[in-house]
Amino acid sequence: MDASAANPSVSLKVTCCVVGGGPAGMMLGYLLGRAGVSTVVLEKHADFFRDFRGDTVHPSTMKVMQELGLLEDFLKVPHQRISKLEGLFGATAVRIADLSRLDTPCPFIAFMPQWDFLNFLDEKGWRFPSLSVRKSTEAVELIRDGDSVTGLIANGPKGRVRIAADLTIACDGRHSILRTQAGLQIEDIGAPIDVLWFRVGKAQGTSDGVFARLSTGQMMVTLDRDQYWQCAYVIAKNGIDQVKARGLDHFRANVAEMAPILREHIGDVRSWDDVKLLSVKIDRLRRWALPGLLCIGDAAHAMSPVGGVGVNLAVQDAVAAANLLADQLAAGERLTLADLDRVQQRRMFPTRVIQAIQVQVQNRVINRALSGADLTPPLLIRLISRCPVLQGMTARLLAIGPRPEHVHSRSAA
Ligand X SMILES: Cc1cc2nc3c(=O)[nH]c(=O)nc-3n(C[C@H](O)[C@H](O)[C@H](O)COP(=O)(O)OP(=O)(O)OC[C@H]3O[C@@H](n4cnc5c(N)ncnc54)[C@H](O)[C@@H]3O)c2cc1C
Return the number of the residue (359 or 412) whose C-beta is nearest ligand X: 359
Site for ligand X (CB under 6 A): which residue of 39, 56, 83, 181?
A: 56
Return the number of the residue (9 or 336) whose C-beta is nearest ligand X: 9
**Are 155 and 138 contacting, i.e. CB atoms less than 8 angstroms apart?**
yes
Rule CB under 6 A: say whether 29 interacts with ligand X.
Answer: no
Rule CB under 6 A: say whether 173 interacts with ligand X.
Answer: yes
Site for ligand X (CB under 6 A): which residue of 298, 316, 344, 399?
A: 298
Rule CB under 6 A: say whether 32 interacts with ligand X.
Answer: no
Radius of gyration of the chain (CA): 22
User: Which residues fall within 8 angstroms of residue 338, CB to CB, at 6 or more apart?
Assistant: none
Q: Which of 207, 241, 205, 243 is nearest to 223 (CA)?
A: 207
CA dihedral 277, 282, 288, 294 (to 10 degrees): 30
- Is 257 strand, coil or helix? helix
Give, as ranges, the residues between 253 and 282 that touch ligand X (CB under 6 A): 278, 280
Site for ligand X (CB under 6 A): which residue of 15, 16, 17, 22?
A: 22
Site for ligand X (CB under 6 A): which residue of 1, 10, 45, 349?
A: 45
**Shortest Å distance, C-beta 93 to ligand X:** 22
Cβ count within 10 A of residue 382 = 14
Rule CB under 6 A: say whether 297 interacts with ligand X.
Answer: yes
Q: Which stretch binds ligand X (CB under 6 A): 172-180, 268-276, 350-358, 384-392?
A: 172-180
What is the arrangement of strands in the sheet containing 109-111, beginning at the earlier edge strand? 56-57, 109-111, 80-82
Q: Which stretch binds ligand X (CB under 6 A): 5-13, 294-302, 352-360, 390-398?
A: 294-302
Return the number of the residue (36 or 310) whose C-beta is nearest ligand X: 310
Return the number of the residue (174 or 252) whose C-beta is nearest ligand X: 174
Return the number of the residue (36 or 308) whose C-beta is nearest ligand X: 308
Between CA 32 and CA 14 the distance in angstroms is 12
Size of the site for ligand X (CB under 6 A): 35
Question: How far is C-alpha 114 from the chain's CA centre?
Answer: 9
Return the number of the residue (310 or 377) whose C-beta is nearest ligand X: 310
Between CA 253 and CA 39 the distance in angstroms is 50
Q: Which of 410, 408, 395, 402 is nearest to 104 (CA)?
A: 395
Return the number of the residue (138 or 264) whose C-beta is nearest ligand X: 138
H-state helical runs in 158-268: 177-182, 240-245, 248-258
> Integer distance in angstroms from the first to the last C-alpha of the chain?
37
Give, as ranges, the residues between 135 and 154 that touch ligand X (CB under 6 A): 138-139
Rule CB under 6 A: say whether 195 interacts with ligand X.
Answer: yes
- Is 259 strand, coil or helix? coil
Give, as ranges, the residues between 299 and 358 that touch ligand X (CB under 6 A): 299, 303, 305, 308-312, 314
Residues in contact with ligand X by CB under 6 A are 19-25, 42-45, 54-56, 138-139, 171-174, 177, 195, 278, 280, 297-299, 303, 305, 308-312, 314
